[in-house]
Chains A and B, each alone.
Chain A
């Protein structure tokens, strides 16, 4: 399972980079979105995947019994998803505004401020 997920993460990173290297700003944002999702999935895989063992403490015990899933990475991913959502909302507004102001969605024509 882990090796399959590793491939999935790798493919997502590759696809994200490919999308970011396209010239259209819409594809750029799609690339950014995939990149943050790939990072989240990476955390999920790297921290270890434990099936069917929720980190619950049974009645009467003072700690979880046996091997349980680590809840922390999921908390991290949840935080990261929320942040990525906010940032993405901003990025979508930004590209729309940029399209209005510049009149094109081609990154190659947005070079006025470059040096």
Chain B
């Protein structure tokens, strides 16, 4: 028995249920949210430690032997993702104490957050493809409700696009699961992986692979399927934006990594080549979209798209070094992107706007905040010695080794354009003198009229420290990525760990 494998799902689920029963007391819900997410981070670290020790941890629901039961599997990649979920969950829970309006807290903000995290953790840990669909839906329903909490016009418009495209993606996913089941007669991912090679019609497997790619591509916001993201991510409360920006698209990326290293590896030339060009176009369109924007969160949303391209690039090149780069990039990106959204939320708290033209002088009055922006921003652009530099370095090196020169050029160019966007924000928000038409500047210049101002700073500082650690003390992190890449490149290990003695 290994309880650490199931706890990352059980803790948020229990916390969500408890939170619901404490509906009337926002105070206890807040305490519970912080405690539960701290516990989630702790089990995540526990899971990562025991996974690195044993290689794989598996659990069969109801003790039915592997291909017949739903299995939970943790390899190093899944364990890393759970730790990141814990970090982001804790950061958001603390940040929400200060940033979330009372009205949202009263209408189930915390229970929804717990449910969302349960869905995310379940998607990372499950080893059953239909179960993956169910966790996706748990996550999606919670995210729908969080996105629309508050009910403003922009939220409704954003939510219609978000809901439609995500449901569309789910329908494709479900159809693909059905087709796959019709061919291999099993839903266990490890079992599918060893049976796809025996299917009579390999062309059909490629068709199913493309359906999965489209479905997860929508969830991961890859080119040309990303339009729901910049239309909706800047509409909700900033804590919700930050949570979505950090975790949700990465679930799609994780699912792509899982499917296209474990199951669909029989026609790499075709599938991974499409992934490669999709990744390149994703990077480029995302960053160009950001360059055209002049609203804090819209710029950041477009940068999510462009960064997704780097992660997919790691997968698409499909060499051990590239996979290491992809995993490293995921770790770096989740932390940095969430932090940038948190900074944008605090600037909004100070000046009441996300439009760059209404902001200014933050550096003069809040130098600490400027530093807290600069660390993740430069890291995102890939300036050494921050985490983004090493992530980009590994991926670009892998691209060079694979002799994909066009892609390498695009990746470097996108890094430069990212820097351009970050400098744009820096110059407009932090350096520029505050525009004359802005009058409510007392909170920027004087003391912040806020009981829980610490709750803004703690997560931002914490995540900035994580960025610095990944950058300055990168060796152990790199080794983790290396271990996960080794497992991903040898699907046989995964199959043996899940099916054990039941192999033919």
- Footprint of B on A, CB under 8 Å? 20, 25, 28, 32, 35-36, 38-40, 42-43, 46-48, 72-73, 76, 79-80, 83, 86-87, 90-91, 94-95, 97-98, 101-102, 107, 110-115
Contacts and interface: CB of A to CB of B under 8 A. Distances in A.
A20 B164 contact: yes
B227 to A, nearest CB: 8
A94 B181 contact: no
B167 A87 contact: yes
A112 B153 contact: yes
Contacts of B156: 94, 97-98, 101-102, 110
Closest 7 CB pairs of A and B: A43-B178, A46-B182, A98-B156, A39-B174, A110-B157, A35-B171, A39-B175
A94 B167 contact: no
Interface in B172-191: 172, 174-175, 177-179, 181-182, 187
Contacts of A42: 175, 178-179
Contacts of B178: 39, 42-43, 46-47, 73, 76
Interface stretch (B49-57, B137-145, B407-415): B137-145
B114 interface: no
Nearest to B144: A90
B95 to A, nearest CB: 23
Contacts of A28: 160, 164
> Which of A47, A90, A102, A107 has most B Cβ within 10 Å?
A90
Nearest to B137: A83
Contacts of B179: 42, 46
A46 B234 CA distance: 41
Contacts of A111: 157
Contacts of B158: 113
A35 B171 CA distance: 7
A102 B157 contact: yes
Interface residues of B, number: 45
A115 to B, nearest CB: 5
Interface in B151-209: 151-154, 156-161, 163-164, 167-168, 170-172, 174-175, 177-179, 181-182, 187
Interface of B: 130, 133-134, 137, 140-141, 144-145, 148, 151-154, 156-161, 163-164, 167-168, 170-172, 174-175, 177-179, 181-182, 187, 227, 230-232, 234-235, 289, 292-293, 298, 302
Nearest to B298: A115
User: For chain B, what secondary structure do more than half of its interface residues adopt (helix, strand, loop), or is it mixed?
Assistant: helix
Contact of A94 (B148, B168, B182, B292): B148
Given A90-B144, A98-B156, A110-B157, A47 B182 contact: yes
A98 B158 CA distance: 10
Contacts of A83: 134, 137
21 contacts: A20-B168, A25-B160, A28-B164, A32-B164, A36-B167, A42-B178, A46-B178, A46-B181, A47-B178, A47-B181, A48-B182, A73-B181, A76-B178, A79-B130, A90-B145, A94-B159, A101-B152, A102-B157, A112-B154, A113-B231, A115-B298
B64 to A, nearest CB: 13
User: For chain A, what secondary structure do more than half of its interface residues adopt (helix, strand, loop), or is it mixed?
Assistant: helix
B70 to A, nearest CB: 12
> Which of B140, B144, B152, B160 has most A Cβ within 10 Å?
B160
A104 B156 CA distance: 12
B179 to A, nearest CB: 6
Given A101-B156, A102-B156, A110-B157, A115 B164 contact: no
A94 B147 CA distance: 11
A115 B230 contact: yes
Contacts of B174: 36, 39-40, 43, 80
A32 B181 CA distance: 23
Contacts of B182: 46-48
A112 B151 contact: no
Contact of A113 (B130, B133, B145, B232): B232
A63 to B, nearest CB: 13
Contacts of B159: 94, 98
A63 B450 CA distance: 68
Contact of A36 (B152, B160, B171): B171
